[in-house]
Amino acid sequence: MSDTPDDRRRRHSAEVVDGVGKSASRAMLRAVGFTDEDFAKPQVGIASTWSNLTPCNSHIDELARRASDGADGAGGKGVIFNTITISDGIANGTEGMKYSLVSREVIADSIETVAGCEGFDGLVAIGGCDKNMPGCLMGLARLDRPSVFVYGGTILPGTGHTDIVSVFEAMGAYSRGDMDLIEVKQIEETAIPGPGSCGGMYTANTMASAIEALGMSLPGSSAQNAVSREKRADCEAAGAAVLELLERDIKPSDIMTRQAFENAITVVIALGGSTNAVLHLIAMASTIGVELSLADFTEIGRRVPVVADLRPSGHYMMSELVAIGGIQPLMKTLLDAGLLHGDCLTVTGRTLAENLADVAPYPDDQQIIAPLDRPVKAESHLRILHGNLAPEGAVAKITGKEGTRFSGSARVFGSEEEAQARINDGTVVAGDVVVIRYEGPRGGPGMREMLTPTSAIMGRGLGSEVALITDGRFSGGSHGFVVGHVTPEAFDGGPLALVEDGDLITIDAEADTIDVDLSDEELIRRRAAWRQPAPRYTRGVLSKYARTVSSASTGAVTDLPE
């Protein structure tokens, strides 16, 4: 094969389809619509997370076709393939939620597997839910071929400005007696009006914004309604953009640099984004070979304020931010203030600063994004805590509305279900620190989100009177005084495994500490008596995950080098 520019764009697909020795390969591809002309074109794999099991992804089949059309129109050959997705909103509070974080790894594995096998020269990945977005990025990073990520887009608000979290909190209000079944059913029937990802600055919109700030999406991709002309155009443009990236040999490793990850963290903080961004950004950085740690979130958080008044702690939804310009004006403001690295390369082939050069500011009368000098919170809401309960770190989302310090008596549970039952029946009372352990990456296994218990706490009116700590994690929709990702996790003998009912626990989100009022000697005595529980699964994907997954403090990835 000669080394012409076109040959270089086809360095992977040529191995599959060029020459008489690949006649069988071409015969197979002819049966799915390839022509002689197509064999000479760069192949662009379109990784679609479509399924009709969740509104987040129910429209992505059309978006995948649009992306394929864009690749075809730019001189390539689009080839659509699917990967899986699960629904956190459906699985939350059940045993099935243990598969959620696991699905991130399965998605990354499957994209790597298909593209590596089929010889795609470049890729578009389209995601629309919490885990499939970082999973897509991890797959693209492993392959390191010219690639663009497309966000499936946000859902519109339900009746009465409701969303999925409104339903979870209605369930808590019902258990308290503040809402009847008819009222709960009315919210249930109207809160999710159609396709798109959950409507607040929850994990999906957080990760979409982070990926755009990282430079792996086209400008504006993170802030578009799922069902819109803009989103369809975004997909077509993404397919075409891959051909330009192939021409210039720009790969994810050229874009996903240390400075680009710092940009992503900055935007997540400014937006008041989900704690899951900590886990996912560390995992994505690990996959591309960039050093990123919990300490980086603390360092950046000292200089970046929270300026967005977005749910779950604020008032507005993503669709309302879309209506005033999305995140581009915010990024321009952050860049002008010296808080972003403008020289980072992006999938447009231009730098971040070049992409933002002509972005107009927000309308003067908007109330969603505060000025940098009058922020919602002067420092980051994402607090990385350390102490004798979390020697390797824990992650809290403290907006300040909950207060910044909580001290109370431990009420200890060995599973989410056990805790949920005791919240609902009134056992958990004001002044308690709810401890949910053995829910970490290995112990769960799968590090379930605690949206159901946190929503029940809020629904029962205890949001400012009860704290919750766990070696599991939280939905982006969780709010209240909550601390997750406690490491080492209880299953590995972390201090969380040693806590007993009545122990005094203090969480300080200004000093960034989390401690149990026990002497070192008492902790040593309890550790000597502790025994690791038997694994909950011994076969299947959850068992494999538990054997291979790393700590939450390193991203809970399954492919760390030996």
Q: Is 417 annotated as a binding residue?
A: no
Paired tokens of 84 = 């899986």
Per-residue pLDDT of 489-543, as tens digits, reads 999 999 999 999 999 999 999 999 999 999 999 999 999 999 999 999 999 999 9
In the structure, how many helices (H) and strands (E) does the chain have? 23, 12
Nearest Cα neighbor of 197 from 215, 160, 224, 218 is 224
Per-residue pLDDT of 55-95, as tens digits, reads 999 999 999 999 999 999 999 999 999 999 999 989 998 99
Q: Does residue 258 register a pLDDT over 80?
A: yes
CATH of domain 382-554: 3.50.30.80
Q: Is 130 annotated as a binding residue?
A: yes
Q: Is 475 a catalytic residue?
A: yes
The dihedral region occupied by 400, where left means phi > 0, alpha psi between -120 and 50, and beta the remainder, is: left
pLDDT class for 3, splitting at 50, 70, 90?
low
Q: Is 358 annotated as a binding residue?
A: no
CA distance 470 to 447: 9
Residue 1 contacts residue 7 (beta carbons within 8 Å): yes
Say what the pLDDT of residue 5 is.
53
Residue by residue, DSSP assigns 342-361 as: TT-B-TTSSBHHHHHTTPPP
Nearest Cα neighbor of 377 from 402, 360, 354 is 402
Say what the pLDDT of residue 401 is.
77
CA dihedral of 7, 9, 15, 19, whole degrees rounded to 10: -40
Q: Which of 48, 313, 475, 478 is catalytic?
A: 475
The kind and range of the H/E element at 407 are: strand 405-413
78 φ, ψ to 5°?
A: -80, 135
**Residue 536: CB partners within 8 Å, gap ≥ 6?**
443, 444, 445, 542
Residue by residue, DSSP assigns 63-129 as: HHHHHHHHHHHTT-EEEEEE-----HHHHTTSGGGGGHHHHHHHHHHHHHHHHHHHT-SEEEEEE-S
In the sheet that holds 122-127, the strands lie side by side as: 77-82, 43-48, 122-127, 147-151
Per-residue pLDDT of 166-222, as tens digits, reads 998 898 889 889 999 999 999 999 999 999 999 999 999 999 999 999 999 999 999
Say what the pLDDT of residue 1 is.
40
Q: Is 198 annotated as a binding residue?
A: no
Residues of the chain with CATH 3.50.30.80: 382-554
**Residue 309: CB partners within 8 Å, gap ≥ 6?**
315, 316, 367, 368, 369, 370, 376
Answer CATH for 41-156+194-356 from 3.40.50.2300, 3.20.20.220, 3.40.50.720, 3.40.50.261: 3.40.50.2300
Q: Is 56 annotated as a binding residue?
A: yes
Residues of the chain with CATH 3.40.50.2300: 41-156+194-356
Residue 474 contacts residue 503 (beta carbons within 8 Å): no
